[in-house]
A and B are shown apart, each in its own frame.
Chain A
């Protein structure tokens, strides 16, 4: 059912008056068809490292500042600096490394497609038809 909704959503995006959206994408094999904001936040803040008990999550971030990144962080409800300070503290405490930062959307997509358990975010238009990626959520961009 939810897949249908997502596909319908995607189809809706093809229409000329479609909103710009940021897609939260993940490797095709991740054990989730959709994702909540809380879970995304958990992943991105390092609170949670696992999809399931045996599938670790690989968090990917975009380096370039822009609408996509801003939209994503706004969606998370955290500022970029806040996220960084969280990761710096984790690193200082020896709790782990921050998400890997991709230079651009293409690199991120390539990484997601090739990395099981990975999660990232890009502009929806870039995602089209990549079989190795699934879109777990969509976030409307405010233009």
Chain B
């Protein structure tokens, strides 16, 4: 809200002062109007007073004089023809009172004239000069009439009634007519004044009324103006603050109030802005902390994940380490007795062969019939001994296998053409499979990445891994083919891929897949889904060891029951220094 420079002083007044100024102005206007109204009213009152008391009284007074003088003349006429003293005396008395009343009225008239000298200047006295002239004229005429009256009396005294009557009807009448005319002029003048004053009073009243109406409207306008000013300076800023506060409550902390007056509202706006600024700062800080927490959380989760994987690896490694130890121990212990078993078995076989030779040499003697029984017995002995040999050899091979398992992976590494290796072992496996299951047809797919090149590995060990994986795959598809209808096409796929400094080998099949609840156990030593007697259950655990411990790689799988399985071997191109 921009402020004009001119209203700067008002803008910075305190609210109470603003209201004071506003209402003060209204009061000022109203007071002015009332004063004016009263003043005008006073003028009107003066006019009316002047009208009533002065002009009209003059008119009345003059009329009375006129009447009195006329009556005087009539009385004089009557007196002239009066016959007796009593009547005459009565007439004389009447004349005296008429003259007295005339004089009294003249006094009143003169007083009324004197009074108008002190009237308010607003009340004009029209035609004063004319009035003075007429009045002097009247005075002169009245004096003339008085002179005539003296003459009349003298004439009557001296018995000249006729002459007296003639004078009354002549000169006196003329004088009286002049008096009436002059007085008429005075009446006219004063009536005019009364009328004019009345008109002026009405005009004043009307103009006053008009002015008061205008002032009334002006006061309303001023009030509206002042209300508008107050709204602009008070209500509008307050509403701005209210809107800003609501926006802040909705979360927008970038609100800034632009009220710059130096009154209470300006101070409020200033404090408000400070408040939102500190809220903003606090929120930013909180957000930063939240981000940091989030980051820490993510780090922790990642670390947790790693720890969990490491834990699993550790558990597995431990399992296998302890198992390795166990098998090493067992193997070690079995080794010796087995040696003895083997040796004695061999001796036994040798002995029996000697006995057989002896008997053969002496087969014609009588003893021969007994010896035939002995020969049977010897044959049994031989057979038993062979059996011992057989089983011993078998135990021996088990032990060898177990020893292999527990052996450390410290054999010779060399740069090897991986694609070539894989291809060799594919052939090995395929022919081996065909050899044991002639009716089995599986499609072998290959997809070798030419960028793979040479990898530093122990080729025999990786080869063993490949064989193991491929054998498992073949077994899976073979088993599935057995239970599936004719439409099932078993396949195996081997892919190699170079990914940066890693080599990825994948063995995929569309066999029956590994059930989910068994997936956690596939790398366990001795764990197998094959029936007892076929397989040792050590293949995958051995492969796992070779890949992870021996080559610092990873061996993982994906499998879905009914879909197939993919085993993935990741090897570093060049091995890191082994732990």
A81 touches B153 (CB 8 A): no
- Residues in B whose Cβ lies below 8 Å from that of A82: 103, 106
The distance in angstroms between the C-alpha atoms of A91 and B153, with both chains bound, is: 9
Interface presence of A128 (CB below 8 A):
no
Name the CB-closest residue of A to B143.
A81
Which of A79, A88, A91, A92 sits near B139, CB closer than 8 Å?
A: A79
Produce 1/0 per residue, B276-295, CB < 8 A to A.
00000000000000000000
Given A89-B99, A93-B92, verify A81-B150 contact (CB < 8 Å): no
B92 touches A81 (CB 8 A): no
- Residues in B whose Cβ lies below 8 Å from that of A81: 139-140, 142-143, 146
- Residues in A whose Cβ lies below 8 Å from that of B100: 89
Interface presence of B95 (CB below 8 A):
yes
A92 touches B153 (CB 8 A): yes
- Residues in A whose Cβ lies below 8 Å from that of B103: 82, 85
Produce 1/0 per residue, B136-153, CB < 8 A to A.
000110110011011001
A78 to chain B, nearest CB (A): 11
A88 touches B149 (CB 8 A): yes
Which of A79, A80, A91, A93 sits near B150, CB closer than 8 Å?
A: A91
B183 to chain A, nearest CB (A): 14
Given A91-B153, A98-B150, verify A80-B143 contact (CB < 8 Å): yes
Interface presence of A84 (CB below 8 A):
yes
A74 to chain B, nearest CB (A): 13
- Residues in A whose Cβ lies below 8 Å from that of B92: 92-93
- Residues in A whose Cβ lies below 8 Å from that of B139: 79, 81
A91 to chain B, nearest CB (A): 6
A88 touches B99 (CB 8 A): yes
- Residues in A whose Cβ lies below 8 Å from that of B99: 85, 88-89, 92
- Residues in A whose Cβ lies below 8 Å from that of B153: 88, 91-92
Given A91-B153, A92-B153, A98-B150, verify A84-B143 contact (CB < 8 Å): yes
Interface presence of B508 (CB below 8 A):
no
- Residues in A whose Cβ lies below 8 Å from that of B147: 84
Chain A contact residues: helix, strand, loop or mixed: helix
A79 to chain B, nearest CB (A): 6
Name the CB-closest residue of A to B106.
A82
A99 to chain B, nearest CB (A): 12
Interface presence of B372 (CB below 8 A):
no
Interface presence of B96 (CB below 8 A):
yes
Q: Which of B86-144 contact A (CB under 8 A)?
A: 92-93, 95-96, 99-100, 102-103, 106, 139-140, 142-143
The distance in angstroms between the C-alpha atoms of A92 and B95, with both chains bound, is: 8
Q: Which of A83-101 contact B (CB under 8 A)?
A: 84-85, 87-89, 91-93, 98
- Residues in B whose Cβ lies below 8 Å from that of A85: 99, 102-103, 142, 146
The distance in angstroms between the C-alpha atoms of A23 and B74, with both chains bound, is: 41
**Tier of interface size on chain A:** 10 to 19
The distance in angstroms between the C-alpha atoms of A91 and B157, with both chains bound, is: 11
A92 touches B96 (CB 8 A): yes
The distance in angstroms between the C-alpha atoms of A85 and B143, with both chains bound, is: 8
Produce 1/0 per residue, A102-115, CB < 8 A to B.
00000000000000
- Residues in B whose Cβ lies below 8 Å from that of A84: 143, 146-147, 150
Of B93, B99, B146, B147, most A-chain CB atoms within 10 Å? B146
A41 to chain B, nearest CB (A): 16
B102 to chain A, nearest CB (A): 7
The distance in angstroms between the C-alpha atoms of A64 and B62, with both chains bound, is: 29
- Residues in B whose Cβ lies below 8 Å from that of A88: 99, 146, 149-150, 153
B96 touches A89 (CB 8 A): yes
The distance in angstroms between the C-alpha atoms of A123 and B143, with both chains bound, is: 23
- Residues in B whose Cβ lies below 8 Å from that of A89: 96, 99-100
The distance in angstroms between the C-alpha atoms of A90 and B55, with both chains bound, is: 33
The distance in angstroms between the C-alpha atoms of A82 and B103, with both chains bound, is: 7
- Residues in A whose Cβ lies below 8 Å from that of B93: 92-93
Of A81, A82, A84, A91, most B-chain CB atoms within 10 Å? A81
A77 to chain B, nearest CB (A): 12
The distance in angstroms between the C-alpha atoms of A89 and B140, with both chains bound, is: 18
B76 to chain A, nearest CB (A): 10
B139 to chain A, nearest CB (A): 5
Name the CB-closest residue of A to B102.
A85
The distance in angstroms between the C-alpha atoms of A93 and B96, with both chains bound, is: 7
Of A79, A89, A93, most B-chain CB atoms within 10 Å? A89
- Residues in A whose Cβ lies below 8 Å from that of B146: 81, 84-85, 88
- Residues in B whose Cβ lies below 8 Å from that of A93: 92-93, 96
Name the CB-closest residue of A to B149.
A88
- Residues in B whose Cβ lies below 8 Å from that of A79: 139
Q: Which of B436-488 contact A (CB under 8 A)?
A: none
B158 to chain A, nearest CB (A): 14
B143 to chain A, nearest CB (A): 4
The distance in angstroms between the C-alpha atoms of A92 and B100, with both chains bound, is: 12
The distance in angstroms between the C-alpha atoms of A84 and B149, with both chains bound, is: 10
Q: Which of A31-86 contact B (CB under 8 A)?
A: 79-82, 84-85
- Residues in B whose Cβ lies below 8 Å from that of A98: 150
B577 to chain A, nearest CB (A): 152
The distance in angstroms between the C-alpha atoms of A85 and B140, with both chains bound, is: 12
A7 to chain B, nearest CB (A): 37
The distance in angstroms between the C-alpha atoms of A93 and B88, with both chains bound, is: 11
- Residues in A whose Cβ lies below 8 Å from that of B149: 88
- Residues in A whose Cβ lies below 8 Å from that of B102: 85
- Residues in A whose Cβ lies below 8 Å from that of B96: 89, 92-93
- Residues in B whose Cβ lies below 8 Å from that of A91: 150, 153
A70 to chain B, nearest CB (A): 12
Name the CB-closest residue of A to B146.
A84
- Residues in B whose Cβ lies below 8 Å from that of A92: 92-93, 95-96, 99, 153
Name the CB-closest residue of A to B145.
A81
A–B Cβ pairs within 8 angstroms, 17 of them: A81-B143, A82-B106, A84-B143, A84-B150, A85-B142, A85-B146, A87-B150, A88-B149, A88-B153, A89-B96, A89-B99, A89-B100, A91-B153, A92-B96, A92-B99, A92-B153, A98-B150
Tell me the B residues contacting A by CB distance below 8 Å. 92-93, 95-96, 99-100, 102-103, 106, 139-140, 142-143, 146-147, 149-150, 153
Q: What are the 7 A-B residue pairs with the smallest beta carbon separation, nearest first?
A: A81-B143, A84-B146, A92-B92, A89-B96, A92-B96, A81-B142, A92-B95
5 more CB-based (< 8 A) A-B contacts, given A84-B143, A85-B103: A81-B146, A87-B150, A88-B153, A89-B96, A92-B92
